[in-house]
Amino acid sequence: MMRRFAALLIALLLLSIALAEEIDLSPTPAPDVPESASLPPMSDAPLLESPPMRLNCAAALLMEADSGQIIFEMNADSPRPVASVTKVMTILLTLEQLDAGRASAGDAVTVSDTAAGMGGSQVLLDVGERQDVGTLLKCMIVGSANDAAVALAEALYGSEALCVEAMNRRAEALGMTNTHFVNCTGLPADGQHTTARDVAVMSRQMFAHPRYFDYSTIWMEDVDHGDGRVTQLVNTNKLLKLCDGCDGGKTGSTNEAGYCVSATASRGGMRLIAVVLGAASGKERFAIARQMLDYGFANYRQYPVAKKGTRVKGALPVTGGEKDGVALVLDGDLTLLVNRGDEQRLSLSPSLPESVAAPVQAGQAVGHVDVIAEGRTLARIPVAAAESVKAKGLPLNRIIQNWLGRF
């Protein structure tokens, strides 16, 4: 009896080992979730090696907003002051606070001595005046108001200094490696600088918020100070009237920064972002930005290359599995910006192993497909298993019978 009991224990032990081969009990690491979601990263290289036109400014960059692809750039990584274009980050943080529910557009803000005393462009807020967050955001977007920017910084973060710390953290999270903020307004300050590339990065994030366009398209509007006094806001972005499809942007100018703008326009469902830094005049910065945007829309279009879930032809061999192969799918959407007429020059180059060992989980990454144009890899699409494939199980009944039959 004892021998049979011992044999039964051994058989049960073998059973547990066999089951372990079919069930993956290893812990799955939790994914890293950023504090604030970011759009996909920008392309590594511009589509054009040099600008197709003469750009009379210190730095420039033209980007397609959805993919982040850069069409062309000039001195895009040269650090420099950008005046009130700095407010792009202040606006972005405010929009993110609103979207996250940490603030509401109707929240009342009492204007401090510091905010009311800001120089430069203002909406002329008084000390102790009460305005809501939405109105202050509008004043910052439409009129580039420094007093509104500081009032929001103090209301949302406790002080301008704490807001600046948040601005630098967000810049780091977005990969803006050549940017350092000292204030939230863009007024001249030692050590404050950014680049055309980094301006495009944070502008792309700002333009991804639909709420932004509720304010950016306002051309002229009055601000009631509540004491019988009214200030008229006039949009600093003249491209709204000069450029077809322009519906947003941020201007800035100081003696050291020159005339700057980060502008966006949408035509035919495609959105472009033009960054112009260090132009000689306000009129010239707008002319350059318009020329850049017109060029992009005339010469490029969005081309859908891949859709997530699309089946990959054939099956990947599986070793040690209940099935000999596993179906594959593309594990990502991809829309590229291509020169009109060049769609046929794109090719797909798969990079997959000869086989994969069981067990295989549905959604498991198994390789990728490179999208290539003229010998240059433009993008990489992950490839995943479309289904699960279990490992072959051991013949448990036969094992138990063999062991029991020995006693």
The answer to whether 168 touches 159, Cβ cutoff 8 Å, is no
What tokens appear for 291 in the block? 């020329």
43, 67, 112, 144: the catalytic one is 144
Q: Which of 43, 67, 87, 262 is catalytic?
A: 87
Which is catalytic among the residues 43, 84, 121, 203?
84
Residue 96, phi then psi, degrees to nearest 5:
-65, -35
290 burial class (0-12, 13-18, 19+ CB within 10 angstroms)?
A: buried
Confirm whether 203 is a catalytic residue.
no
Count of all residues that appear for the chain in the document: 407
Residue 308 appears among annotated catalytic residues: no
Residue 68, burial from CB neighbour count under 10 angstroms (0-12, 13-18, 19+): middle
- Clarify whether 104 is annotated catalytic: no
Distance from C-alpha of 406 to C-alpha of 3, rounded to nearest angstrom: 10
Query: What single-letter DSSP state applies at residue 194?
Result: B
Give burial (CB, 10 Å; 0-12/13-18/19+) of 142: buried
Cα(355)–Cα(265) distance, rounded to whole angstroms?
A: 47
Helices (H), 44-182: 87-99, 113-116, 133-143, 146-157, 160-173
Annotated catalytic residues are 84, 87, 144
